[in-house]
A and B are shown apart, each in its own frame.
Chain A
Amino acid sequence: MPESRGEKVFVTGITVFLILFSIIAIIPLLSVIATSFSSKSAVDMNLVTLWPKQFTLDSWMYIIDRPDLWKSFFLTLGSTVIGTVLALLMTALFAYPLSKPEFRWGSVIMVGVVIAMIFKAPIVPYFLTVRSIGLYDNPLVLIVPHILNPFNLIIMRTFFKQFSKDLEEAALLEGCGYFRMLFQFVLPLSKAVLATLALFYGVVLWNQFQHPLFFLQDTNLFPLQIKIRQFITDDNVIMAGAASTADLNYNERTLRAATVIFAIIPIILVYPFLQKYFVKGAMIGSVKG
């Protein structure tokens, strides 16, 4: 079926529009990257647009020399990795019985899960509850409240439900217990959904801001996002320890840019590996969830 001229114009217009839209989507990011690699004087003279001017690594050297930043980085990395593993374990353990008709309370509990997903508790009683179980100023608050998400649970349950019953029934007759069944057969066959949920949980854990803001006072426990927020809003924090500012080749703005990029690097590194999974996962969740 040949396309008419009008259609070609239509499709070309859409294509051009989307390409422009994509470029706009990454321009602010490019601008920050350029700033982080530019010299103080180039930035002050408004020369930096999308490409570094008077290329220098000085801002980056300063950022990399900050032990407090690395502390936040590793704290966040650690809580993200541990939290993601725990969250997957927790979600799988709960989703598995919920996917089985033999589990008699399944449908009742599912209603409870859906209610928990739709109704958000007011923030103050939530705060008081979490504080009363001892998570205030406790590094565990970076992990524990995130290890089960009702939406992710439903995705995993839906996925488990699609498994053929035959294999499982045969294994169960052979005397294989439910725990072995889950860990030796079901989970190894669920890599796609595990990868997707690992990404969902991981991003939430890495990016979390509200919980640490509410529950942490101790600056030693500040995760990366809180640290970055301080860098963005407070020049004193960022320039702490910088000797005389006159002869330095960086300023607040280049340092801020470098810090922001510093915090994105892990996401950018992991992104290409997980991209193929999350689209699939989002589909499982959206079409059937």
Chain B
Amino acid sequence: MKAIAFHRMKMHWPLYVMAIPGIVFLIVFKYIPLAGAVIAFKDYSVFQGFMDSPWVGFKHFKTLIDHPDFARVFGNTLMLGALKLVLIFPVPVLLALMINEIRKTALKKGIQTALYIPHFLSWVIVGGILFDFFSLSGLFNIIIGWFGDESVLAMQESAYFRPIYVLASIWRDAGWGTVVYMAAISAIDLQLYESAMIDGASRFRQIRHITFPILLPTVMVLFLLEIGNFLDLGFDQVYNLLTPMTYNVGDILDTYVFRTGIQQAQYSFATAVGLFQSVIGFIMVYTFNKLSKKVSDDGGLW
């Protein structure tokens, strides 16, 4: 048997050679850093490396919980994560259902293009556009001026940070988010609609009883994935919308890890923060997966 296996490998050797660069890449850029997470339980020193730095158990996690910044940063992260799930996540689903109702192809294409474009702009650019939009002589203040309101520097105001975060996310990514749902909708058998129409079902009832139920599994899968990334709000996004004046509401685990871990080189402490974030994400997916399985038999990710 072994000889045959060896012979097969010899025959197909180019396949193994092809896979080497990819395997090496995954090990270096994914698996070594994943394993490197052990430094959360060590006092990492640059000279001793991942392996030889001394173990300190949960010391950094204890510091983390007692840290005065922690409650604020963690609270901000939870808040933005919750907003993301409740306000941002449903928008592409609704948009996709609506876009699907438009039967004029040219109009549909135009709308889709307009909604996709912002997704291709980096968060730096989106930040730049927003800073311009909300500047003292920007469009936002011109418009509120028409209604006689005083100018505000919205990007520098804590009260505006969360609304801007939500609207900017919807603006940039909701259109793009419809692509997945549109793909799922396009796979629906048209005969379902035809027979529904013969039975006299209105457009609205067709959405409610055909399109939406068929879309639901896709929505559930994406929702679970989203929950897994519950605390992962996107570094680029928050960093580029943040100003020193909005730290109190906008500083999140990601930006905090960047400042403490990379700028101030508190490697082990910041890794503990990162690990904490991943563990919460995992617990959330696990819990909601169980819940969704209870609701429907074939629901859930696994």
| Chain A residues in the interface with B (C-beta under 8 A) | 1, 3-4, 6-7, 10-11, 14-15, 17-19, 21-29, 31-32, 35, 43-46, 48-50, 90-91, 93-94, 96-98, 100, 102-105, 109, 112-113, 116, 118-130, 133, 145, 147-148, 150, 153, 177-179, 182, 203, 206-210, 213-214, 225-226, 228-229, 231-232, 253, 256-257, 259-260, 263-264, 267, 271, 275, 279, 282-283, 286-287
State whether B8 touches A125 (Cβ < 8 A). Answer: no
Chain-A contact segment, one of B25-33, B61-69, B75-83, B288-296: B25-33
Given contacts A14-B98, A112-B26, A125-B36, A179 and B117 within 8 Å (CB-CB): no
Given contacts A14-B98, A122-B33, A232-B128, A26 and B114 within 8 Å (CB-CB): yes
Residues of B within 8 A of A125 (CB): 32-37, 39, 50, 271
Number of A-B residue pairs at CB separation under 8 A = 276
Residues of A within 8 A of B236 (CB): 209-210
State whether B132 touches A253 (Cβ < 8 A). Answer: yes
Q: A109 to B31: give the CA distance in the assembly, Å.
A: 13
Q: A30 to B192: give the CA distance in the assembly, Å.
A: 42
A98 to chain B, nearest CB (A): 7
- Check: B210 CB closer than 8 A to any chain A CB: no
State whether B138 touches A31 (Cβ < 8 A). Answer: yes
B253 to chain A, nearest CB (A): 10
Residues of B within 8 A of A103 (CB): 12, 15-16, 19
State whether B145 touches A46 (Cβ < 8 A). Answer: yes
Q: Report, as a range, how many residues of chain B touch the other chain.
A: 35 or more
- Check: B125 CB closer than 8 A to any chain A CB: yes
State whether A94 touches B22 (Cβ < 8 A). Answer: yes
- Check: B257 CB closer than 8 A to any chain A CB: yes
Residues of B within 8 A of A282 (CB): 179-180, 183
State whether A120 touches B50 (Cβ < 8 A). Answer: no
- Check: B86 CB closer than 8 A to any chain A CB: no
| B contact face: mostly helix, strand, loop, or mixed | helix
In chain B, what residue has the closest Cβ to A11?
B101
State whether B22 touches A148 (Cβ < 8 A). Answer: yes
**B184 contact from A120, A133, A287, Cβ within 8 A:** A287
B283 to chain A, nearest CB (A): 14
- Check: B99 CB closer than 8 A to any chain A CB: yes
State whether A96 touches B15 (Cβ < 8 A). Answer: yes
Interface centre among A10, A123, A182 (most CB of B within 10 A): A123
- Check: B270 CB closer than 8 A to any chain A CB: yes
State whether B15 touches A100 (Cβ < 8 A). Answer: yes
A200 to chain B, nearest CB (A): 11
State whether A179 touches B18 (Cβ < 8 A). Answer: yes
Give residues 105-124 of B contacting A (CB, 8 Å).
107, 110-111, 113-118, 120-124
State whether A228 touches B124 (Cβ < 8 A). Answer: yes
Give residues 127-154 of B contacting A (CB, 8 Å).
127-133, 135, 137-139, 141-142, 145
State whether B123 touches A97 (Cβ < 8 A). Answer: no
Residues of A within 8 A of B216 (CB): none
State whether A98 touches B19 (Cβ < 8 A). Answer: yes
State whether B23 touches A109 (Cβ < 8 A). Answer: yes
State whether A275 touches B124 (Cβ < 8 A). Answer: no
State whether A210 touches B235 (Cβ < 8 A). Answer: yes
State whether B271 touches A178 (Cβ < 8 A). Answer: no
Given contacts A104-B5, A119-B278, A282-B179, A18 and B111 within 8 Å (CB-CB): yes
State whether A4 touches B184 (Cβ < 8 A). Answer: no
Residues of B within 8 A of A225 (CB): 122, 124-125
Contacts A28-B129, A283-B179 known; 11 new A-B pairs at CB < 8 A: A35-B132, A93-B21, A102-B15, A123-B258, A129-B28, A178-B18, A206-B122, A214-B262, A260-B132, A264-B121, A287-B187
B49 to chain A, nearest CB (A): 8
Given contacts A121-B36, A122-B271, A259-B128, A102 and B12 within 8 Å (CB-CB): yes
In chain A, what residue has the closest Cβ to B172?
A25
Residues of B within 8 A of A109 (CB): 19, 23
A15 to chain B, nearest CB (A): 6
- Check: B191 CB closer than 8 A to any chain A CB: no
A33 to chain B, nearest CB (A): 10
B159-194 vs A, Cβ < 8 Å mask (1 yes, 0 no):
000000000000100010001101110110000000
State whether B18 touches A122 (Cβ < 8 A). Answer: no
Q: A17 to B97: give the CA distance in the assembly, Å.
A: 13
State whether B124 touches A97 (Cβ < 8 A). Answer: no
B197 to chain A, nearest CB (A): 5
B52 to chain A, nearest CB (A): 14
State whether A104 touches B30 (Cβ < 8 A). Answer: no
Give residues 229-268 of B contacting A (CB, 8 Å).
232, 235-236, 239-240, 254, 257-258, 261-262, 267
- Check: B220 CB closer than 8 A to any chain A CB: no
State whether B15 touches A122 (Cβ < 8 A). Answer: no
State whether B26 touches A116 (Cβ < 8 A). Answer: yes
